[in-house]
Copies of this chain bind each other. A is one copy, B any other.
Amino acid sequence: MSIDLNDTELGALTKGVSSRRAFLRTASLTAVSTAALAACGKGASPTPEAAAAATPPVAPPPLSPRAAADAMDAMHEKGIKSFPAKTAGKGNQLLTPRIEKGVKVFDLTAREIKWEVAPEQLVSAMAYNDQVPGPQIRVREGDRVRVNLKNELTQSTAIHFHGMELPNDIDGVPFITQPPVKPGESYTYEFTIPEGNVGSNMYHSHHNSTTQVSLGLLGAFIVEPRNPRPIEKVAHDYLMVLNDGAHGFTLNGKGFPATEPLTAKLGEKIRIRFMNEGMMIHPMHLHGMHMTVIDKDGWPLPAPWRCDTLNIAPGERYDVIVNCTNPGTWAFHCHILPHAESEHGMFGMVTALVVSK
A21 pairs with B179, CB closer than 8 A:
yes
A313 pairs with B306, CB closer than 8 A:
no
What is the bound-complex CA distance between A160 and B309, given in angstroms? Answer: 14
Could you say which of B65, B156, B308, B315 contacts A183, with CB atoms under 8 Å apart? B65
A171 pairs with B302, CB closer than 8 A:
no
User: Interface stretch among A3-11, A52-60, A89-97, A281-289?
Assistant: A281-289
- A99 at interface (Cβ–Cβ under 8 A)? no
Residues of B within 8 A of A81 (CB): 175
Residues of B within 8 A of A175 (CB): 14, 16-17, 76-77, 80-81
User: Interface stretch among A102-110, A207-215, A225-233?
Assistant: A207-215
- A111 at interface (Cβ–Cβ under 8 A)? no
B302 pairs with A307, CB closer than 8 A:
no
B341 pairs with A208, CB closer than 8 A:
yes
B313 pairs with A305, CB closer than 8 A:
no
A66 pairs with B182, CB closer than 8 A:
yes
Residues of B within 8 A of A316 (CB): 283, 307, 309, 311, 335
Interface centre among A178, A214, A317 (most CB of B within 10 A): A178
A168 pairs with B297, CB closer than 8 A:
no
- A19 at interface (Cβ–Cβ under 8 A)? yes
B210 pairs with A162, CB closer than 8 A:
no
Could you say which of B168, B299, B329, B352 contacts A329, with CB atoms under 8 Å apart? B168
What is the bound-complex CA distance between A16 and B169, given in angstroms? Answer: 6
Q: State which residues 171-195 of A face B: CB under 8 Å.
A: 171, 173-180, 182-185, 187-188
Q: How far is the CB of A151 from chain B (nearest CB, A)?
A: 9
Residues of B within 8 A of A287 (CB): 160, 171, 173
B338 pairs with A283, CB closer than 8 A:
no
Could you say which of B16, B166, B187, B290 contacts A165, with CB atoms under 8 Å apart? B290
Could you say which of B177, B187, B285 contacts A21, with CB atoms under 8 Å apart? B187
Nearest chain-B residue to A166 (Cβ)?
Answer: B288
Interface centre among A17, A327, A337 (most CB of B within 10 A): A337
Per-residue interface assignment for chain A, residues 320 to 357, with 1 indicating a CB less than 8 Å from any chain B CB and 0 otherwise: 00000011111100011110111100000000100000
- A126 at interface (Cβ–Cβ under 8 A)? no
- A314 at interface (Cβ–Cβ under 8 A)? yes
Interface centre among A13, A65, A296 (most CB of B within 10 A): A296
- A155 at interface (Cβ–Cβ under 8 A)? yes
Could you say which of B70, B301, B317 contacts A305, with CB atoms under 8 Å apart? B301
- A69 at interface (Cβ–Cβ under 8 A)? yes
What is the bound-complex CA distance between A70 and B207, given in angstroms? Answer: 13
Q: How far is the CB of A283 from chain B (nearest CB, A)?
A: 4
Residues of B within 8 A of A304 (CB): 302
Could you say which of B65, B167, B182 contacts A328, with CB atoms under 8 Å apart? B167
Interface centre among A14, A162, A316 (most CB of B within 10 A): A316
B309 pairs with A178, CB closer than 8 A:
no
- A147 at interface (Cβ–Cβ under 8 A)? no
Contacts A175-B17, A211-B343, A330-B171 given; indicate if A311 touches B308 (C-beta within 8 A). Answer: no
Residues of B within 8 A of A309 (CB): 297, 313-317
18 sampled A-B residue pairs with Cβ under 8 A: A14-B176, A17-B179, A20-B188, A69-B182, A77-B175, A80-B174, A162-B285, A165-B326, A168-B330, A171-B328, A171-B331, A210-B337, A211-B343, A280-B336, A281-B313, A302-B304, A314-B336, A315-B335
